[in-house]
Structure 1
Amino acid sequence: MITGAAGATVYYNLKLRHPILDLPIIDYDLALLLQPMLLLGISIGVVLNILFAEWMVTVLLIILFIVTSTRSFFKGVETWKKETIIKKEVSRRLTSSNAGAEDVAYKLLPGGSRVRNEGYKTPEVSVVDNVYWKDFTILIAVWIILLVLHIFKTYTSTCSTTYWILNVLQVPVAVGASVYEAVCLYKGTRVVMSSGDAVITWKVHQLILYCCCGILAGIVGGLLGLGGGFILGPLFLELGIPPQVSSATATFVMIFSSSMSVIQYYLIGRFPVPYAMYFVAVATVAALVGQHVVRKIISIVGRASVIIFILAFTIFVSALSLGGVGIADTIRKIKEGQHMGFDNICAYNPV
C-alpha cells in the first residue's frame, strides 16, 4: 500500500519545481545522503521483524507514531505562526503603500514557505528536464545491487556462512554511496540549497547523525513494514527544508525503501500478493487524488504548513488504527496461549 501511494506521489512530484528556487521539488542531495542508509536499515528491520513478537512491534509502532505526530504538529504550529506574521507584514505594507502584490518582496520562512497573494502554486516542467539523472542513476544502482544480494540470499541456507556474507556485503554498498555524498557535502562540492536560506554548512557530526537517522528510519520501516519516509519528513523540516520539499523528498526516498521492504517480505514468504495488490491500487488512486486536493487547499489558504498538519494527523490516525488492531490481535494470542517471546531466525522457514 505504501509503495503504491509513494509511487503515484513520486510520479506526480517528478514534474514539479521548488516553490521558490529554480530547483526540482525533490532534493536529490538529501536523497543520496540518506537513501542508501535507509535501505541498509530496511534489511536489518526485516530480520528484526522475524525475531520480535508481534506485541513488541505493536508497542514500538504506537510509541514511534505518537512521538513523530506530536513533533510534526508542533512544527506545523510554529510554521503557521511564522506564516501569519509574514501575511500581516505583507498586508501592512500593501495598505501603507497602496502597492500591488507584485511590488512586495516575499521571503521564505525558515522551514516554512513563501506567502503570496495569489496563493501557493508550484510550476510543472518536463520530467526529463527536472530530474538530476546522475544522482537518480546512483540511487537506482544502489537499490539494484542490494536487491541482487537479497535474491542470492534466498538460495542459501539461513544462518549459513554464505547467508551472512551476503548480508555483510550490503554494508560497503550502502555506506559507500552515503559516504560519497557526505564527503561532497562536507567539502562543499555539492550543496543542499532547498532551504532557500544560506547554504547549509555541514559538520562531520551532523553528517554522521543524519546517516544514523537514515539507518534508524530504515530499521523502523523494515520492522513495522513501512517505508521509513514518515521519519525523514520531520527530519527534513528540522533542517529548515520547506514542507513541500520535505514531503516530496521523503516520499521519493520512500519509494526505494518501501519497494525493497516489499520484495524482502515476499522473499521470506510474508507478503500476501492478492491482498496487497488490492491496497496498492486503492493507495495509488488515493495518492493521486490527495496530491491535487492538497495543492488546491494550499492554493486557497496560502499556507504550506497545511502539509505538516496533514502529515501529523495521518501519522496519529495510523497510530490509533494500527495500534488498535495490534492490541486486539495480541489479546487474542494471549487468550489462545500462543508464544509471545522472541523467535529464532535460524529456525525460521518461509511459508
Structure 2
Amino acid sequence: MVAGNAASNVLYSVFSASTGAGGGHLIDYDIALLSEPCMLLGVTLGVICNIAFPEWLVTLLFVVILAGSTFKTCRAGGRRWREESEEMREKKGEKEVPLEEGGVLLMVWLCFFLLQFLRGDKEGKGIIKIKRCGLGYWLTTSSQVPVALLFTTYIMYANDRQQRRRRHGGRRSTQDHISYSSAPGRRSRGLFGIGGGLLMNPVLLQIGISPQITASTSCFMVFFSASMSSMQYLMLGMKEVNQALLMAAGCSVTSMAGVILIQRAVGKYGRASLIIFTLSTVMVLSSISITGFGIIDIWKDYMDGRSLGFKLPC
C-alpha cells in the first residue's frame, strides 16, 4: 500500500518538474542518494524486528516514534507559517530529471535486491542453496551493512566534489547554499539509517528544506524502501497478495488526488505550510488509532493466552 501511494506521488513530482508546473525539481535527488542506501539496510533490520518482536513492543515503539515526529512536524509547520507571513519566496531550477542520480539509486536498489535474492525465501530457495538462519544466511544478511556504508561513502565523496566544483566555478546559488550547508545533517541520517516518511519529513523540515521538496523527496525515498520491503515480505511468504495489490491501487489513486488538491491549495493561498499542517493532522490521527487498536489487539492476545514474548526471526 505504501509503495503504491509513493509511486503516484513520485510520478506527479517528476511530471511537475518536466512540465514546469512545480517550478523546478520537487525532489532533492542529493538527499535521496545519500539517505537511500542505509534506508534499504533499515528495511532489512525492520523486517527482522517486526517478525521477532512481540506486538506490544512494535506498537509501543511505533507510537513513541510517531508522537515525536508529530511534535517536530507541528513545530516546523508553525515556524514555516510565520516565515510565509513575512515573505514569499520563489525558487527556480532545472526541468529535467537527473539521469545520473536516478541510475545510481536504481543500482543501489538492485544491489540490495540481489542480496535478498541470494538469501532466498522462507524455505531457503534462492540463486544458491542457503540454509535458513544458517551461517551463509546471516553472512548474506550482514553483508548489507558494508554495502550500505560503501554506497553512502561514495555518494558523500561525489557530493563534496560537485560542491567544490560549483564554488570554484563561482556558481553558488541559493539552492546550492542550502544543499551544502545541510550536508552534515544528511550524512548523519545516512550513516545511522534514519528513514521512512514518519522520520524523514520532520528531519528535512528541521534543516530548512521547503515543504514541497520535503514531501516529494520523502515519497521518492519511501518508494524505494517500500518496494524493497514488499519484495522481502513476498519472499517470506506474505499471504493475500491480490488483496494487497488491490489496496495498493486504491492508495495510488487517492494519493494522486490528494497531491493535486493540496498543490492547488498551496498555489491559491501561497501557503506551503498547508502541506505540513495536513501531514501533522494525519500523524495525530494515526497516533490515536494505532494506540487504540494496538491496545485492543494486545488485550485480545492476552485473553486468548497467546505468547507476548519475543519470537525467533526465522
Aligned equivalent of 1:180: 154
Selected match of 1:171 from 138, 145, 165: 145
Work out which of the residue numbers 175, 188, 211 in structure 2 matches 1:196. 175
1:190 Cα deviation (Å)? Answer: 7.7
- C-alpha distance in structure 2 between counterparts of 1:136 and 1:293, whole Å: 27
Write the distance in 2 (CA, Å) between the matches of 1:10 and 1:180. 25
Q: Is residue 344 from structure 1 mapped to residue 312 from structure 2 by the alignment?
A: yes
Q: Say yes or no: does 1:26 pair with 2:27.
A: yes
Amino acid at match of 1:170: Q
Shift in alpha-carbon separation, 1:272–1:21, aligned structure 2, 3 A: closer
Equivalent residue number for residue 256 of structure 2 = 288
Return the match for 1:251 from 175, 194, 219: 219
Aligned-residue offset at 1:260: 0.6
Map of 1:130 onto structure 2: 96
Q: Which residue, out of 265, 285, 301, partners 1:297?
A: 265
Partners of 1:57 and 1:297 in 2: CA distance: 36
Deviation at 1:169, TM superposition (A): 2.2
Residue 93 of structure 1: aligned partner: none
One-letter amino acid of the structure 2 residue matched with residue 9 of structure 1 = N
1:209 to 188, 197, 216: 188
Tell whether 2:287 aligns with 1:319: yes
Q: 28-37 or 323-332, which moves further after superposition?
A: 323-332
1:145 match: 111
Contact 2:31 2:186 in 1 (8 A): no
**Is the Cα–Cα contact under 8 Å of residues 38 and 216 in structure 1 kept in the other structure?**
yes
C-alpha distance in 1 between matches for 2:173 and 2:255: 24
Once residues 154 and 22 of structure 2 are traced to their aligned partners in structure 1, the CA distance between those partners, rounded to angstroms, is 25
- Secondary structure of residue in 1 paired with 2:15: coil
- Give distance in 1, aligned partners of 2:260 and 2:180: 35
Question: 1:52 deviation in Å?
Answer: 0.2
Conserved? CA contact 1:46–1:261, under 8 Å? yes
- Name stretches of at least 5 consecutive residues in structure 2 with no aligned partner: 167-171
2:70 corresponds to 1:65: no
Q: What is the Cα deviation at residue 278 of structure 1?
A: 2.3
Aligned Cα RMSD in Å?
A: 2.7
Deviation at 1:207, TM superposition (A): 4.9
Distance 2:81 2:298 in 1: 40
CA separation of 1:195 and 1:283: change in aligned 2, threshold 3 A: farther
What is the CA deviation profile of residues 150-208 of structure 1, one whole-angstrom value per residue up to 9, with x for unaligned ones? 122122222211101211222232221111111233443488x8973734445986454
Q: Does 1:310 align with 2:278?
A: yes
Task: Tell me how far 1:212 sits from its aligned partner.
Answer: 3.5
Moved more, 246-255 or 22-31: 22-31
Measure, in 1, the Cα distance between the counterparts of 2:165 and 2:146.
22
Task: Rate the CA distance shift 1:201–1:48 in 2: closer, same or farther, 3 A.
Answer: same
Runs (4+) of structure 1 moved beyond 6 Å? 18-22
Distance 1:195 1:290 in 2: 30
Alignment correspondent of 2:169: none
- Select 2:231's aligned residue among 263, 272, 279: 263
Q: What CA deviation, in whole Å up to 9, does each residue of 1:278-316 have, x standing for no partner?
A: 210210111110111101111222100001111111122
Name the structure with the higher helix share.
2
Range that drifts further, 336-345 or 318-327: 318-327
Partner of 2:133, secondary structure, is: coil
Q: In 2, are the aligned partners of 1:25 and 1:249 still within 8 Å (CA)?
A: yes
Q: Give distance in 2, aligned partners of 1:158 and 1:54.
A: 23
Deviates more, 1:255-264 or 1:199-208: 199-208
Q: What is the aligned length?
A: 299
Counterpart secondary structure, 1:216: coil
Q: 1:310 & 1:206 partners in 2: Cα distance?
A: 25
Computing the radius of gyration over CA atoms, which structure comes out larger, 1 or 2? 1
Map Cα deviations across residues 35-75 of structure 1 (whole Å, 9 max, x no partner).
11100111111111111001111111111111111110111
